[in-house]
Structure 1
């Protein structure tokens, strides 16, 4: 059976939210990675954009798990996860220079099984090896404005084309642009590729071009107008954030530039939204 990253990531992607006490809630997106501890102990890690958690002032956030029922239906069953210590300090791990966060969690057994193996995160050579560049199509999962695909709470799948050049190496270009409709609530969602253009002669590993390219961290704005362009942080920085979970002194990359549009600004793709 061919492993379908699209379907697997749909199962691994969750809505994150925290009520703010004034009738609104902060909403974002996260996804689960299977990242065993150094001693081999199984571990499920929630990955999202750092600003999603940073904007949640309370000690606990809700993770939108979904439970499969025997009759084929699904039940939306959000559970809480502690994100701040008693003094209000964050208990998640953040990348020191990129908008990436990770926190080890205890997920329901179904979700622990759904977590994506860490080796599906793109590596330093993934883009060059697979000849990924401007115009290639990628997919993104998220909860735009806190909306789900259905009552079961599954994320909404969108697609867009790489809209900047060059897109690698990540050490020089830590982010790249993706041409798709971005809305508040999309922040932290995975951006990934599941199909290779068969016309690319000589592309390595063409039979299995499935990988997580990165996560959506911002959107592009000009004069307060959203340009429907997403800013994606390379998966390299997810790798580095996972390493920081085990070793706060692990080496990290200091990148030299960011993707962007001259004259425009980057804005958060997460905000407070009215509850349903």
Structure 2
């Protein structure tokens, strides 16, 4: 499981008509269409893609059933703003865009992509969420401050804990908080529970086996300003100098993964045929 997780994300570089460049994180997610077909998307934040009319994504090339490390497909997407599907709730920082056409183009070019996709079965049910303890170890995968293994097309993996109980909605919103280093470029990073071998149960016992849940994706975090105020801000994406007047607190706000289900009918209606 751990060897496959770095291949669920893609670096997203966007460009606005004004020439502003930004970097964020997306992760592959598929909706089942039946007949062994699926609609593959990149999920990310609205603020990663808003205002952009062009984007570039990065996928490793496949060498049979393995990744060909060092061989990378960097693919340009034009008319990008017309492809994006946004969550209908303006307070939910969640968006998606299809990449099936890009994947087909890569295959036709003789450079098929190697990636791993998550799905609805990875989203914890209400019952599973209630079985999680108040403090769970989490993994977050992305491109903090734009850092990545450019040679091998590998993201950066961070480890942390849930800072608020996942079963409860933080301040009544479909969100939870994590205690993890959250920096520019991490916007859209998937936040997961990935236990391999054993994991703790809520009753205090230890379960033998593996466990995987997609808990959600990072959208922002509270920052401590030079004036001494604590404010909630989206994780920045723009690749430009920023004055150090806002200090990250190593806490992150995350959209709960159950909100992905709201995108399914919208994406199917637009791209499912």
What's the counterpart of residue 123 of structure 1? 125
Does the 8 A contact of 1:102 with 1:242 survive in 2?
A: no
Does the 8 A contact of 2:163 with 2:177 survive in 1?
A: yes
Does the 8 A contact of 1:44 with 1:112 survive in 2?
A: no
Map 1:111-260 to 2 at 5 A.
111=113, 114-129=116-131, 131-133=132-134, 135-164=135-164, 166-170=165-169, 172-195=172-195, 197-198=199-200, 200-201=202-203, 207-223=209-225, 224-247=246-269
Match of 1:92 among 67, 84, 90: 84
Shift of the 199–236 alpha-carbon distance from structure 1 to 2, 3 Å rule, reads: closer
Whole-angstrom distance in 2 between the partners of 1:169 and 1:157: 26
The Cα shift of 1:203 comes to: 7.5
- SS of the equivalent of 1:37 reads strand
Whole-angstrom distance in 1 between the partners of 2:147 and 2:97: 24
Shift of the 174–115 alpha-carbon distance from structure 1 to 2, 3 Å rule, reads: same
Does the 8 A contact of 2:200 with 2:206 survive in 1?
A: no
The Cα shift of 1:177 comes to: 1.1
Check if 1:61 corresponds to 2:40.
no
Gaps of 5+ in 1: 249-276
Q: Considering fraction of residues, name the structure with more strand.
A: 2
By relative contact order (CA 8 Å, sep 6+), the higher-ranking structure is: 1
Deviations 1:12-33 (A, max 9, x none): 2000002458886210000101
CA RMSD of aligned residues (A): 3.0
Deviations 1:154-188 (A, max 9, x none): 11000111112x43245944111111111100000
- SS of the equivalent of 1:114 reads coil
The Cα shift of 1:42 comes to: 2.3
The size of the alignment, in residue pairs, is 235
Whole-angstrom distance in 1 between the partners of 2:219 and 2:79: 19
Whole-angstrom distance in 1 between the partners of 2:258 and 2:213: 12
The Cα shift of 1:92 comes to: 1.4
Deviations 1:179-202 (A, max 9, x none): 111110000010000126336447
Shift of the 132–74 alpha-carbon distance from structure 1 to 2, 3 Å rule, reads: farther
Structure 1 length as normaliser, TM-score?
Answer: 0.74
Structure 2 length as normaliser, TM-score?
Answer: 0.74
Match of 2:96 among 102, 126, 130: 102
